[in-house]
Amino acid sequence: MQFTINRNLFLDNLNNVMRAISSRATIPILSGIKLDLSEQELVLTGSDTDISIEIKIPVNDDLTVESTGSIVLPARFFSEIIKKLPGKDFSFEVKESFQTKITSENTEFMINGLDANNYPRLPEIPTDAAFELSGKTFREVINETVFAVANQESRPTLNGVNFSFSSNAIKAVATDSHRLSQRTISVENGPEVKSNLVIPGNSLVEFSRIIGEKDPEITVNPGDNQVLFNIGNIAFYSRLLEGSYPDTDRLIPTSSTTQVEFDLSTLSRSLDRASLLTHESRNNVVKMNLDTDKQSVVLRGQSAEIGNVEEEIPFKSLTGDSLEIAFNPDYLRDALRASITDSIVMKFTQPLRPFTVTPAKEDVDFTQLITPVRTF
Protein backbone atom coordinates (compact mmCIF):
# COMPACT_ATOMS: atom_id res chain seq x y z
CA MET A 1 0.00 0.00 0.00
CA GLN A 2 1.55 3.27 -1.10
CA PHE A 3 0.22 6.73 -1.93
CA THR A 4 1.04 10.46 -1.91
CA ILE A 5 -1.53 13.03 -0.81
CA ASN A 6 -1.96 16.73 -0.07
CA ARG A 7 -1.50 17.09 3.69
CA ASN A 8 -4.22 19.73 4.27
CA LEU A 9 -6.79 17.72 2.31
CA PHE A 10 -5.95 14.60 4.28
CA LEU A 11 -5.94 16.42 7.61
CA ASP A 12 -9.37 17.99 7.05
CA ASN A 13 -10.86 14.54 6.49
CA LEU A 14 -8.81 12.93 9.25
CA ASN A 15 -10.09 15.47 11.80
CA ASN A 16 -13.67 14.49 11.00
CA VAL A 17 -12.93 10.77 11.34
CA MET A 18 -11.26 11.43 14.70
CA ARG A 19 -14.67 12.45 16.08
CA ALA A 20 -15.56 8.76 16.18
CA ILE A 21 -12.43 7.68 18.06
CA SER A 22 -12.75 7.13 21.81
CA SER A 23 -9.83 7.22 24.23
CA ARG A 24 -11.62 4.46 26.16
CA ALA A 25 -12.17 2.00 23.31
CA THR A 26 -13.57 -1.31 24.59
CA ILE A 27 -12.14 -3.12 21.54
CA PRO A 28 -8.39 -2.32 21.25
CA ILE A 29 -8.35 -2.06 17.44
CA LEU A 30 -11.02 0.70 17.63
CA SER A 31 -8.41 3.03 19.09
CA GLY A 32 -7.04 3.09 15.56
CA ILE A 33 -8.07 4.50 12.18
CA LYS A 34 -8.54 2.20 9.24
CA LEU A 35 -7.15 3.25 5.85
CA ASP A 36 -8.36 1.32 2.82
CA LEU A 37 -6.88 2.28 -0.56
CA SER A 38 -8.20 1.22 -3.96
CA GLU A 39 -7.43 2.48 -7.47
CA GLN A 40 -10.43 4.84 -7.18
CA GLU A 41 -10.34 6.20 -3.62
CA LEU A 42 -8.86 6.28 -0.14
CA VAL A 43 -11.34 5.39 2.60
CA LEU A 44 -10.78 6.49 6.21
CA THR A 45 -12.83 4.79 8.95
CA GLY A 46 -13.14 5.45 12.68
CA SER A 47 -15.55 3.95 15.21
CA ASP A 48 -16.28 3.66 18.92
CA THR A 49 -19.31 1.32 18.36
CA ASP A 50 -21.71 4.18 19.21
CA ILE A 51 -20.50 6.38 16.33
CA SER A 52 -18.80 5.26 13.12
CA ILE A 53 -17.51 7.65 10.46
CA GLU A 54 -16.36 6.69 6.98
CA ILE A 55 -14.88 9.26 4.61
CA LYS A 56 -13.98 8.66 0.97
CA ILE A 57 -11.26 10.71 -0.73
CA PRO A 58 -11.30 10.18 -4.54
CA VAL A 59 -8.09 9.72 -6.48
CA ASN A 60 -7.25 13.03 -8.21
CA ASP A 61 -4.40 15.52 -8.53
CA ASP A 62 -4.15 15.70 -4.72
CA LEU A 63 -4.04 11.90 -4.25
CA THR A 64 -1.90 9.57 -6.36
CA VAL A 65 -1.82 5.79 -5.83
CA GLU A 66 1.27 3.62 -6.21
CA SER A 67 -0.21 0.40 -4.81
CA THR A 68 -3.46 -0.54 -3.04
CA GLY A 69 -4.03 -2.13 0.36
CA SER A 70 -5.31 -1.48 3.87
CA ILE A 71 -3.95 -0.87 7.38
CA VAL A 72 -5.09 0.24 10.84
CA LEU A 73 -2.91 2.86 12.56
CA PRO A 74 -3.05 4.20 16.15
CA ALA A 75 -5.36 7.19 15.76
CA ARG A 76 -3.92 9.61 18.30
CA PHE A 77 -0.28 9.26 17.24
CA PHE A 78 -1.12 9.16 13.55
CA SER A 79 -3.19 12.34 13.81
CA GLU A 80 -0.46 14.21 15.69
CA ILE A 81 2.16 13.10 13.17
CA ILE A 82 0.13 14.38 10.20
CA LYS A 83 -0.51 17.72 11.96
CA LYS A 84 3.21 18.26 12.52
CA LEU A 85 4.57 17.20 9.12
CA PRO A 86 6.49 20.03 7.43
CA GLY A 87 5.57 19.76 3.76
CA LYS A 88 2.60 20.42 1.51
CA ASP A 89 2.33 16.71 0.57
CA PHE A 90 3.35 13.52 2.31
CA SER A 91 4.04 9.96 1.18
CA PHE A 92 2.60 6.90 2.90
CA GLU A 93 3.95 3.37 2.48
CA VAL A 94 3.13 0.12 4.29
CA LYS A 95 6.09 -2.23 4.53
CA GLU A 96 6.51 -5.70 5.99
CA SER A 97 4.80 -6.66 9.28
CA PHE A 98 2.44 -3.65 8.93
CA GLN A 99 5.22 -1.15 9.57
CA THR A 100 4.22 2.15 7.97
CA LYS A 101 6.58 4.83 6.68
CA ILE A 102 5.32 8.43 6.51
CA THR A 103 7.60 10.87 4.69
CA SER A 104 7.41 14.62 4.09
CA GLU A 105 10.38 16.72 2.92
CA ASN A 106 13.28 15.71 5.21
CA THR A 107 11.07 14.13 7.91
CA GLU A 108 10.40 10.39 8.14
CA PHE A 109 8.24 8.54 10.66
CA MET A 110 7.97 4.77 11.00
CA ILE A 111 4.99 3.54 13.03
CA ASN A 112 3.51 0.10 13.69
CA GLY A 113 0.11 -0.75 12.29
CA LEU A 114 -2.44 -3.55 12.62
CA ASP A 115 -4.10 -5.95 10.19
CA ALA A 116 -7.19 -4.22 8.75
CA ASN A 117 -8.94 -7.60 8.37
CA ASN A 118 -9.50 -7.56 12.14
CA TYR A 119 -11.33 -4.22 12.03
CA PRO A 120 -15.12 -4.57 12.62
CA ARG A 121 -17.35 -4.15 9.57
CA LEU A 122 -19.69 -1.17 9.42
CA PRO A 123 -23.41 -2.01 9.54
CA GLU A 124 -25.32 -2.40 6.30
CA ILE A 125 -28.32 -0.08 6.30
CA PRO A 126 -30.93 -0.26 3.52
CA THR A 127 -31.55 2.95 1.58
CA ASP A 128 -35.17 2.30 0.56
CA ALA A 129 -36.46 4.55 3.40
CA ALA A 130 -33.89 7.32 2.81
CA PHE A 131 -34.90 10.98 2.68
CA GLU A 132 -33.11 14.33 2.43
CA LEU A 133 -32.87 17.28 4.82
CA SER A 134 -31.29 20.71 4.85
CA GLY A 135 -28.10 20.61 6.90
CA LYS A 136 -28.77 24.05 8.36
CA THR A 137 -32.27 23.05 9.46
CA PHE A 138 -31.13 19.83 11.08
CA ARG A 139 -28.26 21.54 12.89
CA GLU A 140 -30.67 24.14 14.28
CA VAL A 141 -33.00 21.44 15.59
CA ILE A 142 -30.08 19.63 17.23
CA ASN A 143 -28.78 22.78 18.94
CA GLU A 144 -32.26 23.69 20.17
CA THR A 145 -32.85 20.35 21.90
CA VAL A 146 -29.69 18.34 22.60
CA PHE A 147 -28.71 20.31 25.72
CA ALA A 148 -31.75 18.90 27.54
CA VAL A 149 -30.86 15.19 27.16
CA ALA A 150 -30.18 13.20 30.32
CA ASN A 151 -26.83 11.74 31.39
CA GLN A 152 -28.28 8.89 33.42
CA GLU A 153 -27.80 5.17 32.99
CA SER A 154 -31.09 4.40 34.73
CA ARG A 155 -33.27 5.65 31.85
CA PRO A 156 -31.11 5.27 28.73
CA THR A 157 -33.78 6.43 26.25
CA LEU A 158 -33.60 9.89 27.85
CA ASN A 159 -29.92 10.10 26.83
CA GLY A 160 -31.05 10.90 23.30
CA VAL A 161 -33.26 13.24 21.29
CA ASN A 162 -36.52 11.72 20.06
CA PHE A 163 -36.97 12.66 16.38
CA SER A 164 -40.22 12.24 14.50
CA PHE A 165 -39.75 12.73 10.76
CA SER A 166 -42.85 13.10 8.59
CA SER A 167 -43.52 14.30 5.07
CA ASN A 168 -43.94 17.92 6.16
CA ALA A 169 -42.24 18.33 9.57
CA ILE A 170 -39.42 17.41 11.93
CA LYS A 171 -40.36 17.17 15.59
CA ALA A 172 -37.56 16.78 18.12
CA VAL A 173 -37.92 16.32 21.89
CA ALA A 174 -35.30 16.02 24.62
CA THR A 175 -35.82 15.77 28.36
CA ASP A 176 -33.85 14.78 31.45
CA SER A 177 -37.10 14.68 33.55
CA HIS A 178 -36.26 18.09 35.10
CA ARG A 179 -36.57 20.08 31.87
CA LEU A 180 -37.76 19.54 28.34
CA SER A 181 -37.09 21.11 24.95
CA GLN A 182 -39.42 20.47 22.02
CA ARG A 183 -38.92 21.92 18.54
CA THR A 184 -41.03 21.39 15.44
CA ILE A 185 -39.96 22.72 12.02
CA SER A 186 -41.86 22.48 8.75
CA VAL A 187 -39.98 20.80 5.90
CA GLU A 188 -40.62 19.88 2.31
CA ASN A 189 -40.11 16.43 0.82
CA GLY A 190 -39.80 14.60 4.13
CA PRO A 191 -40.21 10.81 4.26
CA GLU A 192 -43.48 9.44 2.93
CA VAL A 193 -43.53 6.93 5.78
CA LYS A 194 -43.24 8.51 9.24
CA SER A 195 -39.98 7.64 10.96
CA ASN A 196 -39.27 7.80 14.70
CA LEU A 197 -35.64 7.69 15.91
CA VAL A 198 -34.08 8.20 19.35
CA ILE A 199 -30.53 9.35 18.60
CA PRO A 200 -27.92 9.65 21.40
CA GLY A 201 -27.06 13.22 22.36
CA ASN A 202 -23.30 12.62 21.99
CA SER A 203 -23.78 11.43 18.41
CA LEU A 204 -25.83 14.51 17.55
CA VAL A 205 -23.25 16.90 19.02
CA GLU A 206 -20.50 15.38 16.86
CA PHE A 207 -22.69 15.33 13.75
CA SER A 208 -23.65 18.97 14.31
CA ARG A 209 -19.95 19.88 14.30
CA ILE A 210 -19.44 18.05 11.03
CA ILE A 211 -22.36 19.93 9.44
CA GLY A 212 -20.74 23.22 10.50
CA GLU A 213 -22.02 26.62 9.46
CA LYS A 214 -22.78 25.67 5.86
CA ASP A 215 -26.05 24.27 4.52
CA PRO A 216 -25.17 20.91 2.99
CA GLU A 217 -27.78 18.41 1.86
CA ILE A 218 -28.09 15.48 4.28
CA THR A 219 -29.44 12.07 3.37
CA VAL A 220 -30.99 10.21 6.31
CA ASN A 221 -31.10 6.40 6.15
CA PRO A 222 -33.07 4.97 9.11
CA GLY A 223 -32.23 1.40 10.12
CA ASP A 224 -33.45 -0.98 12.80
CA ASN A 225 -30.81 -0.11 15.41
CA GLN A 226 -28.60 2.35 13.49
CA VAL A 227 -29.12 5.52 11.47
CA LEU A 228 -26.81 6.56 8.63
CA PHE A 229 -26.35 10.21 7.66
CA ASN A 230 -24.64 10.94 4.34
CA ILE A 231 -23.20 14.42 3.90
CA GLY A 232 -20.86 15.00 0.96
CA ASN A 233 -18.12 12.36 1.09
CA ILE A 234 -18.89 11.55 4.75
CA ALA A 235 -20.96 8.62 6.02
CA PHE A 236 -21.89 9.10 9.69
CA TYR A 237 -23.37 6.09 11.51
CA SER A 238 -24.98 6.33 14.95
CA ARG A 239 -26.57 3.64 17.03
CA LEU A 240 -30.18 4.24 18.05
CA LEU A 241 -31.39 4.04 21.63
CA GLU A 242 -33.74 1.15 22.31
CA GLY A 243 -36.99 1.38 24.21
CA SER A 244 -40.06 3.57 24.07
CA TYR A 245 -39.58 7.30 24.54
CA PRO A 246 -42.05 8.72 27.08
CA ASP A 247 -45.18 10.55 25.92
CA THR A 248 -43.95 14.08 26.57
CA ASP A 249 -46.88 15.89 24.97
CA ARG A 250 -48.98 15.32 28.08
CA LEU A 251 -46.37 17.11 30.22
CA ILE A 252 -46.76 20.46 28.47
CA PRO A 253 -49.47 22.66 30.04
CA THR A 254 -52.22 23.76 27.68
CA SER A 255 -53.19 26.80 29.77
CA SER A 256 -51.60 29.25 32.20
CA THR A 257 -52.60 31.55 35.04
CA THR A 258 -49.65 33.96 34.82
CA GLN A 259 -47.79 35.16 31.74
CA VAL A 260 -44.81 37.48 31.33
CA GLU A 261 -42.87 38.58 28.25
CA PHE A 262 -39.19 39.52 28.52
CA ASP A 263 -36.54 40.88 26.22
CA LEU A 264 -34.20 37.89 25.90
CA SER A 265 -30.94 39.72 26.52
CA THR A 266 -32.34 41.65 29.51
CA LEU A 267 -33.51 38.48 31.27
CA SER A 268 -30.24 36.67 30.43
CA ARG A 269 -28.11 39.37 32.03
CA SER A 270 -30.28 39.48 35.15
CA LEU A 271 -30.11 35.72 35.47
CA ASP A 272 -26.31 35.79 35.14
CA ARG A 273 -26.06 38.26 37.98
CA ALA A 274 -28.41 36.31 40.25
CA SER A 275 -26.65 33.00 39.65
CA LEU A 276 -23.25 34.48 40.55
CA LEU A 277 -24.23 33.86 44.16
CA THR A 278 -26.50 30.83 43.80
CA HIS A 279 -23.67 28.82 42.22
CA GLU A 280 -21.87 29.13 45.55
CA SER A 281 -24.88 27.66 47.32
CA ARG A 282 -25.58 23.95 47.68
CA ASN A 283 -29.08 24.36 46.27
CA ASN A 284 -28.37 26.69 43.28
CA VAL A 285 -31.88 28.14 43.26
CA VAL A 286 -33.21 31.55 42.23
CA LYS A 287 -36.66 32.87 43.06
CA MET A 288 -38.80 34.94 40.73
CA ASN A 289 -41.63 37.00 42.21
CA LEU A 290 -44.26 38.17 39.74
CA ASP A 291 -46.61 40.77 41.23
CA THR A 292 -49.37 41.58 38.77
CA ASP A 293 -50.91 44.20 41.09
CA LYS A 294 -47.70 46.22 41.39
CA GLN A 295 -46.65 45.23 37.84
CA SER A 296 -43.19 44.15 38.97
CA VAL A 297 -40.93 41.13 38.46
CA VAL A 298 -38.15 40.58 41.01
CA LEU A 299 -35.37 38.01 40.80
CA ARG A 300 -33.62 36.91 44.01
CA GLY A 301 -30.55 34.78 44.59
CA GLN A 302 -28.91 33.80 47.86
CA SER A 303 -25.87 32.01 49.21
CA ALA A 304 -25.57 31.47 52.95
CA GLU A 305 -21.78 31.77 52.70
CA ILE A 306 -21.55 34.79 50.36
CA GLY A 307 -24.70 36.93 50.57
CA ASN A 308 -27.75 37.68 48.45
CA VAL A 309 -28.84 39.60 45.37
CA GLU A 310 -32.16 41.14 44.40
CA GLU A 311 -33.01 42.74 41.08
CA GLU A 312 -36.17 44.11 39.54
CA ILE A 313 -36.33 43.01 35.89
CA PRO A 314 -37.90 45.17 33.16
CA PHE A 315 -40.53 43.29 31.14
CA LYS A 316 -42.75 43.89 28.11
CA SER A 317 -46.02 42.60 29.58
CA LEU A 318 -47.29 40.86 32.72
CA THR A 319 -50.79 39.42 33.09
CA GLY A 320 -52.70 36.98 35.31
CA ASP A 321 -52.23 36.06 38.98
CA SER A 322 -49.34 37.06 41.22
CA LEU A 323 -46.88 34.23 41.77
CA GLU A 324 -43.52 33.34 43.32
CA ILE A 325 -41.59 30.42 41.88
CA ALA A 326 -38.13 28.93 42.52
CA PHE A 327 -36.01 27.14 39.90
CA ASN A 328 -32.51 26.14 38.86
CA PRO A 329 -31.05 29.16 36.99
CA ASP A 330 -28.86 26.94 34.80
CA TYR A 331 -31.94 25.34 33.27
CA LEU A 332 -33.41 28.72 32.37
CA ARG A 333 -30.04 29.94 31.08
CA ASP A 334 -29.77 26.94 28.73
CA ALA A 335 -33.33 27.59 27.55
CA LEU A 336 -32.53 31.23 26.80
CA ARG A 337 -29.35 30.30 24.92
CA ALA A 338 -31.36 27.96 22.71
CA SER A 339 -34.07 30.56 22.07
CA ILE A 340 -34.24 31.92 18.53
CA THR A 341 -36.25 35.14 19.02
CA ASP A 342 -35.38 38.45 20.67
CA SER A 343 -38.28 38.12 23.11
CA ILE A 344 -39.57 35.14 25.09
CA VAL A 345 -42.77 34.42 26.99
CA MET A 346 -42.80 32.55 30.31
CA LYS A 347 -46.12 30.94 31.26
CA PHE A 348 -46.90 29.68 34.77
CA THR A 349 -49.75 27.74 36.40
CA GLN A 350 -48.77 27.06 40.03
CA PRO A 351 -45.59 27.56 42.11
CA LEU A 352 -44.80 23.83 42.06
CA ARG A 353 -45.95 23.05 38.55
CA PRO A 354 -43.63 23.16 35.49
CA PHE A 355 -43.55 26.41 33.52
CA THR A 356 -42.89 26.98 29.84
CA VAL A 357 -40.56 29.25 27.88
CA THR A 358 -41.71 29.98 24.33
CA PRO A 359 -40.80 32.49 21.60
CA ALA A 360 -42.86 35.68 21.50
CA LYS A 361 -43.54 34.92 17.82
CA GLU A 362 -46.58 32.69 17.45
CA ASP A 363 -45.39 31.16 14.17
CA VAL A 364 -42.35 29.51 15.84
CA ASP A 365 -43.18 26.08 17.31
CA PHE A 366 -40.60 25.84 20.11
CA THR A 367 -41.54 24.96 23.69
CA GLN A 368 -39.20 24.56 26.64
CA LEU A 369 -40.43 23.24 29.97
CA ILE A 370 -38.71 23.69 33.34
CA THR A 371 -39.65 22.01 36.61
CA PRO A 372 -39.53 24.36 39.64
CA VAL A 373 -37.74 23.61 42.89
CA ARG A 374 -39.49 23.09 46.21
CA THR A 375 -37.85 25.40 48.78
CA PHE A 376 -39.79 24.41 51.89
Reported as a single tens digit per residue, the pLDDT across 226-272 is 999 999 999 999 999 998 999 999 999 999 999 999 999 999 999 99
How distant is the alpha carbon of residue 123 from its chain centre? 22
| C-alpha to C-alpha distances, 271 to 145, 226, 266, nearest whole angstrom | 21, 40, 9
Domain that holds residue 356: 252-370
pLDDT at 126: 86
Residues 45 and 103 in one domain: yes
Q: Judge residue 22's burial from the number of C-beta atoms within 10 Å of its C-beta, 0-12 exposed, 13-18 middle, 19 or more buried.
A: middle
d(CA 176, CA 162): 12
pLDDT at 25: 78
376 pLDDT more than 70: no
Please, which residues bridge with residue 357 across strands? 346, 368
- Residue 220 located in a structural domain: yes
User: What value does the mean pLDDT of the chain take?
Assistant: 93
* Average pLDDT over every residue of 21-50: 93
- Amino acid identity of residue 14, one-letter, is L
- Residue 126 located in a structural domain: no
Q: How many domains does the chain have?
A: 3
Percent of the chain beyond pLDDT 70? 100
Q: Are 60 and 107 in contact (CB under 8 A)?
A: no
| C-alpha to C-alpha distances, 348 to 12, 351, 352, nearest whole angstrom | 48, 8, 10
Residues 6+ apart with CB under 8 A from 270: 299, 311, 313
Residues 174 and 144 in one domain: yes
**pTM for the whole structure:** 0.91
d(CA 111, CA 117): 18
- Residue 125 located in a structural domain: no
Residues 8 and 25 in one domain: yes
